[in-house]
Chain A
Amino acid sequence: DQQVKQNSPSLSVQEGRISILNCDYTNSMFDYFLWYKKYPAEGPTFLISISSIKDKNEDGRFTVFLNKSAKHLSLHIVPSQPGDSAVYFCADRHALNFGKGTSLLVTP
């Protein structure tokens, strides 16, 4: 049974608008989460992380929010750019559990 879930396989957003990618987890012992970005024909690359002692972490246009009571995290990209078009994966800190990914398309 998947312990990290991304329930939206795809998302399309206009350039300049906000992209919100969601991730849910089942194990309340998970204490650190990472987001990876993957372009076609390349390996995933680390994007941003968040510890359970925080509820928000920002890095430029990327912000991750963590709601521990709901076991939910979300990645916000503001403003979205065409170069952000990629597949985004969330994972627990050991990366033993990855979500299935959300394919983001940012249209001009």
Chain B
Amino acid sequence: NAGVTQTPKFQVLKTGQSMTLQCAQDMNHEYMSWYRQDPGMGLRLIHYSVGAGITDQGEVPNGYNVSRSTTEDFPLRLLSAAPSQTSVYFCASSYSLADYNEQFFGPGTRLTVL
């Protein structure tokens, strides 16, 4: 099992550019989520999904879109990047939201918006 994979590892964007952060898991997990980590702020939930076709907003969803067309993939889209979106982004998955399962995290994508 590759676990949770994220691409790219690093990305530099200019303000206003768009991009998609990719996330995939091969563990057949129902629940997937995106977090951003900023200094002094910990991990903040952006969006999450409890299964294919179902997504919901987390604590800091503005400026981000997600979709979940398959169980395996949960891409995060930035439609018009802003410097405030400079952060490290982590994707995570777990068996379900309802059960007492830990989340498995990907290695992260470090994004800089100039």
**Which positions in A face B, CB cutoff 8 Å?**
6, 9, 32, 34, 36, 41-46, 49, 51, 89, 91, 93-101
Contacts and interface: CB of A to CB of B under 8 A. Distances in A.
A100 B41 contact: yes
B68 interface: no
Interface of B: 4, 33, 35, 40-45, 48, 58-59, 90, 92, 94, 97, 100, 102-108
B33 A95 contact: yes
A101 B105 contact: no
Contact of A43 (B33, B59, B100, B108): B108
Q: Is the interface of A mostly helix, strand, loop or mixed?
A: loop
A43 B41 CA distance: 16
A84 B33 CA distance: 26
B103 A46 contact: yes
B42 A101 contact: yes
